[in-house]
Chains A and B, each alone.
Chain A
Amino acid sequence: MGVRLCDESGNLRRFVNIYVNEEDIRFRQGKETILSDGDEISIVPAIAGG
Chain B
Amino acid sequence: MSRKSAVSDILKQKIKGLKCRECGKLYPPVALHVCEFCFGPLEVDYNYDEIRRHISRERIENGPKSLWRYADLLPVEGPPTVGLYAGFTPLIEAKNLGAELGLKKLYIKNDTVNHPTLSFKDRVVAIAITRAMELGFTAVACASTGNLANSVAAHAAEARLRCYVFIPGDLEAGKILGSLIYAPTIVAVEGNYDDVNRLCSEVAGEYDWAFVNINIRPYYAEGSKTLAFETAEQLGWKAPDHVVVPVASGSLLTKIWKGFNELKMLGLIDRVDMRVSGAQAEGCAPVASAFKEGRDFIRPVKPKTIAKSIAIGNPADGYYALKAVHESKGAFETATDEETVEGIKLLARTEGIFAETAGGVTIAVLKKLAQKGIISKEETVVAYVTGNGLKTQEAVINAVDEVVRIDPSLDSF
Q: Are B145 and A45 in contact (CB under 8 A)?
A: no
Binding site for A on B (CB under 8 A): 22, 33-34, 36-41, 142-149, 193-195, 197-198, 200-202, 213-214, 217, 220-221, 248-252, 297, 299-300, 302, 312, 314-317, 319
Residues of A within 8 A of B201 (CB): 44-45, 47
Bound-state CA distance A27–B194 (Å) is 13
**Contacting residue for A4 out of B38, B202, B319, CB 8 A:** B38
Bound-state CA distance A25–B317 (Å) is 19
**Contacting residue for A49 out of B37, B198, B297, B312, CB 8 A:** B312
Q: Is A34 an interface residue (CB 8 A)?
A: no
Bound-state CA distance A44–B317 (Å) is 15
Bound-state CA distance A26–B201 (Å) is 19
Q: Which residue of B lies closest to A14 (CB)?
A: B319
Q: Are B198 and A19 in contact (CB under 8 A)?
A: yes
Q: Is A41 an interface residue (CB 8 A)?
A: no
Total residues of chain A contacting the partner, CB 8 A = 20
**Contacting residue for A47 out of B37, B38, B145, B214, CB 8 A:** B214
Q: Are B193 and A48 in contact (CB under 8 A)?
A: no
Q: Are B39 and A50 in contact (CB under 8 A)?
A: no
Bound-state CA distance A49–B213 (Å) is 7
Q: Are B40 and A49 in contact (CB under 8 A)?
A: no
Contact with B along A13-29 (1 / 0, CB 8 A): 11111010010101100
Residues of B within 8 A of A48 (CB): 213-214, 217, 220-221, 249, 251, 316-317
Q: Are B314 and A50 in contact (CB under 8 A)?
A: no
Q: Are A49 and B251 in contact (CB under 8 A)?
A: yes
Residues of B within 8 A of A5 (CB): 39
- CB<8 Å pairs between A and B, sample of 13: A4-B38, A14-B319, A15-B316, A27-B302, A42-B198, A44-B202, A47-B143, A48-B214, A48-B220, A48-B249, A48-B251, A50-B149, A50-B197
Bound-state CA distance A45–B41 (Å) is 8
Bound-state CA distance A49–B149 (Å) is 11
Q: Is A46 an interface residue (CB 8 A)?
A: yes
Bound-state CA distance A37–B39 (Å) is 27
Bound-state CA distance A1–B144 (Å) is 30
Bound-state CA distance A4–B23 (Å) is 12
Q: Are B145 and A50 in contact (CB under 8 A)?
A: yes
Q: Which residue of A lies closest to B299 (CB)?
A: A26
Bound-state CA distance A16–B37 (Å) is 12
**Contacting residue for B39 out of A22, A26, A27, A45, CB 8 A:** A45
Q: Which residue of A lies closest to B41 (CB)?
A: A15
Q: Are B33 and A24 in contact (CB under 8 A)?
A: no
Bound-state CA distance A32–B319 (Å) is 23
Bound-state CA distance A49–B193 (Å) is 9
Q: Given A4-B38, A50-B148, are A44 and B143 also a contact pair (CB < 8 Å)?
A: no
